[in-house]
Amino acid sequence: MPTIGQNSRTTIGHPVTLPALSFAPEEIRTDEPTRSARLKWVIVVDESLPAGRAVNATACVAAATASSVGGLLGPDAVDSDAQTHPGLPWAGCSILGATPDAVAEVLVKAQASEGVHVATMPEAAQSTRVYDEYLETVARQTTAALRPLAVSIVGPRNRVDKLVKRLSLLP
């Protein structure tokens, strides 16, 4: 059964915290089209950013998402030279462009949507060079004041589609 919400269990005497949202092992179907996956992953990025900053914001929220959503990455691939290539998102990930206001609107709606994982890249992450400075900058601002550059959303396909219905793929 898929996991939604924070769950805990004990394995060999040690508590293990399961991801708040994940694919159940039997749901991981790398032999089927990505559209058949129960969960959908999209990243909405501020289309007014220069390319390098947009790619950076997208990569950062993707890293945060991949480490937080269980079963998102497929198995490693091995080429004919026996070199291993780390697993990629088997269910796909669409990168959508939006105006800064639309990115903020999607974020607010996604945060209010139950059963959806949300990871954000606020502008403060690109304006600081030391992670502790980033943490301090974020701590001084309200959620509404943090300008999101990118928002990563994973959730039930119909819910995610409703959140981003009018947005297009980033060119």
Surface-to-core class of residue 138, CB atoms within 10 Å of its CB (0-12 exposed, 13-18 middle, 19+ buried): middle
Domains of the chain in start order, with CATH, are 3-169 (3.40.1490.10)
Shortest CA distance to 44 belongs to which of 171, 165, 164, 166?
A: 164
pTM for this prediction: 0.86
pLDDT in tens, the chain (171 residues): 333 333 333 334 444 444 578 999 999 999 999 999 999 999 999 999 999 999 999 999 999 999 999 999 999 999 999 999 999 999 999 999 999 999 999 999 999 999 999 999 999 999 999 999 999 999 999 998 999 999 999 999 999 999 999 899 998
Q: Residue 155: is it exposed, middle or buried by C-beta count within 10 angstroms (0-12/13-18/19+)?
A: buried
